[in-house]
Structure 1
Amino acid sequence: MKNLRKYADKPIIGVLIKKMLNFVVSRQANQISQHFSEYLQPVVAFTPELQAESYKIRHNVYCEELNFEDLRSNSQETDDFDGHSTHCLIKHIPTGSYAGTVRIVRTQSAEQLLPIEKYCISSIDEKSVHPSDFPREHICEISRLAIPAQFRKRAADKFSGSATGAINEHSYSERELRCFPFIAVGLYLSAASITLHHDIHHCFVMMEPRLARSLRFVGIPFQQVGPVVEYHGKRAPYYISRKLLMEGLSPGFKKMLHHIEKRIEIQFKKKA
């Protein structure tokens, strides 16, 4: 698979390679969606206790492991955006441990900026899609995706694994491993389900190009809207709309999104 991908952009043969890769990914996606619900489930962090679990994961990854943020005395990484964000966790059902977290930052006014607007607005190309192009209630930013080290593969992956969802092959069964490479995908699909619930149409994110390529490969076509900059590592601004997401997802991952969406809707109904 990895060797074939480098030929995907070549003339003539690239078309055949892409079709072959899409077939393999679609087949894998069906397997992933079947196993995902057996071992992993999305949990919307409505309570302070669950939000604390999210902040602890973020502190472990962003403060202790990557040194992107300063250490906090309470071992919880938080900022001013958390108050108007929805936080989501992925739970590993057999152990009860949390395998990852992500947040969806929303905005209701021009004064309530998204992180990308506050810190990286100059990185968005003037001719590209811009947060100011849309009503405030219809935009959001996905940020603070983090996956604990025990769900990743090797110590050498610690700088990129938190984003890409590499796995610890020695701690879990072969059957479980089928879905762990897609923890990051599950987090993004969980975020997508939350944006659908809130009727948000446009989403921005600062992410590693490597992760963007991986997500695009499985049918989540984030569009790069600016150059790579130094922001918690090499990152670039990306954009996706509800329309692009639904058109890009393969049937297998649409099935996974539908499963996650149902789980999340149940949680919103219980909260209401």
Structure 2
Amino acid sequence: MDRSLVANKTIIARVKSIVGRDSKLGKALGGLEKLQEAKFISKHFSDFLEPVVAQSDSVRDESYTIRHKVYCEELGFEPLRSDKFEKDEFDTFSSPCLIKHRRSGHYAGTVRLVRPQSDEQLLPIEKFCLDSITHETLNPRNFARQDICEISRLAVPLEFRKRQMDKFSGAAIGVINEHTYSENELRCFPFIAIGLYFSAAALVIHNDIKHTYVMMEPRLARSMRFIGIQFEQIGPVVNYHGKRAPFYINPTLLFHNLRPSFRVMLNDIQETVGKYPKGLV
């Protein structure tokens, strides 16, 4: 952690202990402490990592390559491909987001936003798991195609999961080990996974998409609650590449529950993603 931040936190903690945590000054100092923490989280991410929205075939290929490494070679969810690209029919109307490691220039993870443009284009969740959605009000068929999207194919390659704390089942697809991480262990946060979720969220907001779906493991949804992203489960757990359930979120739900210490990070990622043109890239 930055030494100046440690020093400031120590001073603030001492003053709070003197004046009392619940006093007016104590509460004000607590707010300052959270602001410093939030700025540190965002700076730590931006110092080492950068969100990228794919705008060229070469960057899209990087996304397909990462997906092949994780979904085909490592997890065995999909068959091996001779071209080492994991692609499907939904990629023709999807926007990939990636996280680039600044120092090496290598891509450290990817996720895609599937965005139908016409009535015949379905979300993956509609084509493969529509029967699992039991919440009639939030069924994607109730909304216009341009108002829905799906976050899918999140993947973090093995070479960026070398830390012992990241070597647990689920890390490849972004699950956060809530038993290891805490808000006081800022240096230990899995910034790549969180950056990918926030990049997808920023792309949703940038394009004014009203309804977002994701088919994921319940423990992944629990991981997201850890940082304040509260997906609403809209159906039971089914067997689809393991135990998965359909989940829903919209921008209002995202901002309502997001922890203040991560708002700054999301805002900064929104600023970067907002520089890209709207629509499919």
User: Which whole-Å CA distance do the structure 2 matches of 1:242 and 1:268 have between them?
Assistant: 20
- 1:230 aligned partner: 239
User: Which whole-Å CA distance do the structure 2 matches of 1:128 and 1:113 have between them?
Assistant: 18
Q: Is 1:163 aligned to residue 173 of structure 2?
A: yes
CA change 1:179–1:257 in 2 (3 A) is: farther
CA apart distance, 1:60: 0.0
Once the two structures are superposed, residues 123-149 of structure 1 have per-residue CA deviations (whole angstroms, 9 ceiling, x without a partner) of: 111445210222211110000000011
Q: Which residues of 2 match residues 125-144 of structure 1 at below 5 A?
A: 125-127=134-136, 129-144=138-153
- 2:260 aligned partner: 251
CA change 1:138–1:156 in 2 (3 A) is: closer
CA apart distance, 1:27: 7.4
Unaligned runs of 5+ in 2: 1-30, 178-185
**Contact 2:119–2:145, Cα closer than 8 Å, also in 1:** yes
Task: Choose 103-112 or 68-77, whichever is displaced more.
Answer: 103-112
Q: Is 1:217 aligned to residue 206 of structure 2?
A: no
**Contact 1:197–1:265, Cα closer than 8 Å, also in 2:** yes
**Contact 2:155–2:174, Cα closer than 8 Å, also in 1:** no
- 1:61 aligned partner: 70
Q: Is 1:112 aligned to residue 121 of structure 2?
A: yes
Q: State percent identity of aligned pairs.
A: 54
Q: Which residues of 2 match residues 162-201 of structure 1 at below 5 A?
A: 162-164=172-174, 178=187, 181-201=190-210
User: Which whole-Å CA distance do the structure 2 matches of 1:57 and 1:155 have between them?
Assistant: 21
Give the TM-score normalised by the residue count of structure 2: 0.78
- 2:44 aligned partner: 35
User: Which whole-Å CA distance do the structure 2 matches of 1:268 and 1:255 have between them?
Assistant: 22
CA apart distance, 1:98: 1.0
User: Which whole-Å CA distance do the structure 2 matches of 1:35 and 1:179 have between them?
Assistant: 11
CA apart distance, 1:116: 0.2
CA change 1:206–1:95 in 2 (3 A) is: same
CA apart distance, 1:222: 0.7
CA apart distance, 1:74: 0.5
Task: Choose 230-239 or 52-61, whichever is displaced more.
Answer: 230-239
CA apart distance, 1:239: 0.3
- 2:80 aligned partner: 71
SS in 2 for 1:144: strand
Task: Choose 221-230 or 98-107, whichever is displaced more.
Answer: 221-230
Once the two structures are superposed, residues 172-212 of structure 1 have per-residue CA deviations (whole angstroms, 9 ceiling, x without a partner) of: xxxxx826513222111100111112110110001111111
Aligned residue pair count: 240
Aligned residue identity for 1:86: S
User: Which whole-Å CA distance do the structure 2 matches of 1:52 and 1:59 have between them?
Assistant: 10
CA apart distance, 1:108: 2.3
Larger radius of gyration: 2
Aligned residue identity for 1:189: F
Aligned residue identity for 2:260: P
**Contact 1:41–1:91, Cα closer than 8 Å, also in 2:** yes
- 1:92 aligned partner: 101
Task: Choose 115-124 or 225-234, whichever is displaced more.
Answer: 225-234
User: Which whole-Å CA distance do the structure 2 matches of 1:42 and 1:257 have between them?
Assistant: 11
CA apart distance, 1:216: 1.3
